[in-house]
Structure 1
Amino acid sequence: MKSWSEPQLPRLTSSGKVPTVFDTGTRSPRRLKGRDQAAGLYVCGITPYDATHLGHAATYVAFDLLNRVWRDAGLDVVYVQNTTDVDDPLLERANATGVDWRELAESQIELFREDMTALRVLPPQNYIGVVESVDQIVAAVEDLVESRAAYTLDNGDVYYRVSTPINPPFGSVSHDDRATMAKLSAERGGDPDTPGKDNQIDPLLWKAAREGEPSWDGGKLGPGRPGWHIECTVIANNYAGLPVDVQGGGSDLVFPHHEMSAAHAAAWKQTPLARTYMHTGMVGYQGEKMSKSKGNLVLVSKLREQGVDPMVIRTVLLSNHYRSDWIFTDELLESASARLRAWKHAAMCEAECREGLRGHIIGLLRESLADDLDSPRALGILDEWAEHYADSPAAETAPVCGDRVADAVDALLGLDLHS
């Protein structure tokens, strides 16, 4: 599956620091130094219907920050992202709208690509769909069945045994108790009430073919299609290598998705899925979490259609710390637009070679982003920088005199101050 085009990044003459972030698994800060000057990043992608709302965008911009900070520190980043281009919610939406599920998926994936391009999100080197990965997923599930980490019900559905002894042990990502796991499983795509399962929270690995639903050759498993969690385990393994340095996604993926994906990796490959688990906060609108089920979505594409500058949208996203829950309002767009105008004016005034100020500002930006990707603090630094030029006229020429703040803002924060 094709990714999207990469924005051109300014090359800075100096380099930054590797970041320290909060690891959900250990519930503590962790320095992301990578391995041998390389780092592996796997971020869970969309199920392609109703893309791209601001909750999606907040997640992908957050991990875009990580990608940029890693690159600024001199690391080569292997970034992999999946897209769940066949799944129950997608099929349900296709049936409800009378659109072929493949057509719906492709249209929403293309819209997602357009939104990511507009927001200047660096693309993954490997953007992988479930449909193109079915053969590899089948092989992994067959391995789990053979090792008795998985079992088959009478109807042909295959489930993972959460009682399988693994290292790290099941529950190490979320730290939830079993009652909470059962509740969240029911709310987030699980089927705890399915009869015949060994444990009510055992997750589906392979869904046997149903009439009227797409299916593929499952080898020894029989015809069917993949379950949700195993897809990410397999794609991460095949395209980034396990364990990845960071597994990322929204906080609503901690359980069951990331917990189960990690369990599959430990049982299948006897390795952790990731060294670090990073999770973004939830974005709300009109007093509730923004979600497809509630229908309270603010779509990036709709904002763009209304004439909102994508850099204003990105500024709104960066003005909230990636781990925080927050509520979107129109006032946030207005505030972000005013800040962006001030920064652009400062960028136009950078004709004089104020090396001390430039170096100081760029250093502060790097320091804030190395500290758990603190983008709100970084934007506050830009506000202070812009104040130095608030009463200055725009320059007619821009002499070459070291790294410009605007270039650092582009490279580190993904904000284009010259457009």
Structure 2
Amino acid sequence: MLVVVGILVFFVGLLLSIAWHELGHLMWAKLFGIKVTQYMVGFGRTIWSRKKGETEYGIKAIPFGGYIRMIGMFPPKKDEEYGRTAASTPFRLMIEDARQAVAEEVRPEDAHRQFYQRSPWKRMLVMFGGPFMNLVLAVAIFTASLMGFGVSTPTTTVGKVSECVLPASAGNVAQCPPDAPRTPAAEAGFQPGDRIVAFGGRPYSSWAELQRAIRDSSGVVPVEVERGDQRLTLTPNLIENEMPKLDDADEMVKVGFLGLSPTSVMVKQDLAGVVGTMGNMLSMTVQKVIELPQRVPDLVSAIFGGEREDDSPIGVVGASRIGGEVLSYDQFSVESRIVMMFNLLAGVNLSLFVLNMLPILPLDGGHIAGAAWESIRRRFARLIRRPDPGPFDTAKLMPLAYGVSLVFIAYSLLVLVADIVNPVTIF
């Protein structure tokens, strides 16, 4: 039941994120006097709608996006273009069909309220308004989570002592094999709750530093621990073991091995910590978006029974399923599960911001790039005293936009199938 509730709650959160995105476009469009005829969450057949003023607000059947419809997205064709003999080519017909469809929405009384008529900086704000709303929501959620709840931070207190030595490639096992040797930590008598004060005669206050010291050591090393009111010195004999590299979990290396894991505590972050964390997350999200094309073979492999990577691209279905998994994971407190769900939703919004800022049509970044190019072109024309070249004609890029749309649809379907037959799990 909790899985179903989690899926539904997270799905509603995704829909609200989409609506929030489109609200950013709507707000700036109306502020600049552009006529908006529709504000829709979803695509396809309309399930519910209500008209308020000149705008129809509604929900559609396919909940994988949303849009607002503004009149006059493309400028009219220039006079010198009417006599071109190339008007019958497939691309030219595609461009003219798109231009005609946009022109048919413009009534005579609204001729002055078209999108293309606004100055480039206004059009850029209209198109940036949507992704910016996703960024605002992501920052707000992460800030509240990091400053109010904190970040799970490992300490120098022992949380678990491994009983036997196994290579990391062996994965998680319920019981140690009969022939597996005991870990140095188990042999030396470490216990959960021991706080490591010093390692090799040097004091340590952070797990990150202590972990590096353990990995760089071998042989007998004195370890000073606090156990209750006592201070003890244990003498484990560290060995080499195969472990993931700290800065690259996909690469395995031979390092010093003790055989224990730390406890973690929630540490609330200050504003500087929030800024640093958000910067790292934004950088990681940009990297993952850039890597999307090279993930296609992995997704195809996952559909046909291959391993699905933990950081594999996911869609609405996959994200909602993870939301259900989080809410039903009873080894965390209810508070922790709720915070995790909000953080997942914030991560999705951060991804939506980065993805929509790509400078290609039909994404918002493509329209922003077109308006920016128009501004540069007009400024340059004034600089060299040439006639104003007029608005940038994005209609001429419609064949490219249709091609990109088909690629996105195909990729989305690929992710959808992978999310159904071989979903990503986080626990």
Bigger proportion of residues as strand = 2
Larger radius of gyration: 2
The bucket for the TM-score relative to the shorter chain is under 0.3
TM-score (norm: length of structure 2): 0.20
Bigger proportion of residues as helix = 2
